[in-house]
Amino acid sequence: MYLHRDVDLKKLKEVISKHFVGEIIQIPPVKSRVARRPRKRKIYYFKILGKEGKNVMFKTKVQAGTYIRKLCHDIGEKLGVGAHLKELRRLSVGHFGIENAHTLENIEKAYEKFKKGDERALRKILIPIEKDIPHVKSVFVKEECVGRIKNGGPLFPHDILKIQRGIKRGERVAIFSGKELIALGIARVSSEEMKKRRGPIIRIDRVI
């Protein structure tokens, strides 16, 4: 973050801890894909790592949908000196960290090898979608009902091989055939009720 006029480090920390940690109200910037209406966002922490003149290096963890560029602008406004984002590096998103990242150059090279018939490099880069949803509870279905599910048909009790405990009514559910994720659905009933119900138990929400 670059401050348009220098500010004492103590004052900077005080303003950030008082106004920009916890729940904040943020208006998306002009160049954004969402409506420019005030909305609540959570700043889990905002840690200043160093300050050299007007340059401030910091690390922050924020709720999805928070604009860091706008956050820096708002800090500058609150300080009364102005500020803008100078450089940004995203360290993690969801379950993935920067250690899972690859350069565009390496991805391009792997893709060129793939086009020539060698998919080994690309397989090392690609992350199976199943690894993106460890927080979503799962059900496992019989092979004979996969075609119906892929066409958006609902799940019935006789389709199920295994149900993970703790599924609640209205909760998103991952639907597997063996080790393959085939769809995401919405539970119509809890996991305890799924075996007892006669009608549909899961509504298909998205086919993979």
Give residue for tokens 């379950």.
Answer: 95
- Mean pLDDT, range 81-102, rounded to an integer: 88
Give residue for tokens 């809890």.
Answer: 190
Residue 160's pLDDT is what?
A: 87
Residue 14's pLDDT is what?
A: 95
Residue 19's pLDDT is what?
A: 95
Provide the token pair at 102. 């690859």
Which residues contact residue 166 at a Cβ distance below 8 angstroms, ignoring those fewer than 6 apart?
Answer: 137, 191
Q: How confident is the model at residue 208 (pLDDT cuts 50, 70, 90)?
A: confident
Q: Is the pLDDT of residue 153 over 90?
A: no
Contact 83, 33 (CB under 8 A): no
Residue 51's pLDDT is what?
A: 94
Residue 46's pLDDT is what?
A: 96
- Nearest Cα neighbor of 56 from 46, 66, 41, 67 is 46
Residue 28's pLDDT is what?
A: 84
Name beta bridge partners: 52: 55
Query: Each residue of 1-42: pLDDT tens digit?
Result: 999 999 999 999 999 999 999 999 998 887 777 778 899 999
Q: 48 φ, ψ to 5°?
A: -80, 120
All structural domains of the chain: 2-89 (3.30.70.3190), 98-127 (no CATH), 130-207 (2.30.130.10)
Residue 133's pLDDT is what?
A: 76
Residue 114's pLDDT is what?
A: 92
Spatial distance between the Cα atoms of 110 and 131, rounded to a whole number of angstroms = 21
Q: Is the pLDDT of residue 94 over 90?
A: no
Residue 112's pLDDT is what?
A: 92
Contact 173, 136 (CB under 8 A): yes
Contact 129, 174 (CB under 8 A): no
Residue 52's pLDDT is what?
A: 94
Residue 154's pLDDT is what?
A: 85
Query: Each residue of 33-81: pLDDT tens digit?
Result: 777 889 999 999 999 999 999 999 999 999 988 999 999 999 999 999 9
- Nearest Cα neighbor of 193 from 166, 153, 175, 173 is 166
Query: Each residue of 169-204: pLDDT tens digit?
Result: 899 999 998 888 888 999 998 888 888 888 888 888
- Mean pLDDT, range 125-150, rounded to an integer: 84
* CA atoms 99, 100, 103, 109: torsion sign: positive
3-state DSSP call for residue 169? coil
